[in-house]
Amino acid sequence: MSRKLIAGNWKMNGGLAANESLVKAMLAGLAAPACDVALCAPAPYLAQLQELLQGSPIAWGAQDVSAHEQGAFTGEVSAAMLKDFACRYALVGHSERRQYHGETDETVATKAQRALAAGITPIVCVGETLAQREAGETELVVKRQLAAVIHAVGHCITEIVVAYEPVWAIGTGKTATPEQAQQVHAVLRAQLAAATTNPKRVPIVYGGSMNAANAASLLAQPDIDGGLIGGASLKAADFLTIVAAAG
């Protein structure tokens, strides 16, 4: 893993005018980043990102992708549709999708397959709740979640990104300490090592309230290859600080 990845997740935020202002501020402060940079926006704004970011150092992606290729699935967005807007990435299995939409490990694995088949890199999210952490089940949970994807995509596992996002540290202001995050990242790296001869090719990014203040200490850990950034990706200055820390 030579270059880190900083990917913003706007969640259900944004508007045409606000997006343009935010993206232009990011581009103005981003000459030649030493890491890969991406923004994952709500589906209605992917065309706008394509227009604003084409030819720039920032890639763009979706926050979800359908487990189905096409058909009578009202409200769903297929991987082929995302490809039409030149999406480089698609989040799959974000904890909010698992929690609020009942997505299972198997559904997440299928979504990863769909993304890969369309030439889109899935950012596969795994993570434990506070109750699971307190019960000592962190390793069991994240390994189970990743195992479903490894089983589904086989040798293509080196084409994904893994995002560790402890559910208890998302949008709560709480963050895993660098040591806590590294411990889980090391577990995931070992699991990938058992599935491929080149586990270092798979970026494992941290997605639990990484911000401008804590990014450098988290990114200094040996198995943390970047960040999946929520709230801080809605503020150009904060996001650029995190990108700089990943250089």
Residues marked active site are found at 94, 165
Query: Cα dihedral angle (130, 136, 138, 143), rounded to 10 degrees?
Result: -150
Q: Is 119 annotated as a binding residue?
A: no
pTM over 0.85: yes
Q: Is 55 annotated as a binding residue?
A: no
SS3 64: coil
Q: Is 227 annotated as a binding residue?
A: no
Burial of 168 (0-12, 13-18, 19+ CB in 10 A): buried
How big is the CA angle at 114 (ends 38 and 7), to the nearest 5 degrees? 15
Q: Print pLDDT tens along the chain (247 aa).
A: 579 999 999 999 999 999 999 999 999 999 899 999 999 999 999 999 999 999 999 999 999 999 999 999 999 999 999 999 999 999 999 999 999 999 999 999 999 999 999 999 999 999 999 999 999 999 999 999 999 999 999 999 999 999 999 998 887 777 789 999 999 999 999 999 999 999 999 999 999 889 999 999 999 999 999 999 999 999 999 999 999 999 8
Q: Is 78 annotated as a binding residue?
A: no
* Domain 5-245 homologous superfamily, CATH: Aldolase class I (3.20.20.70)
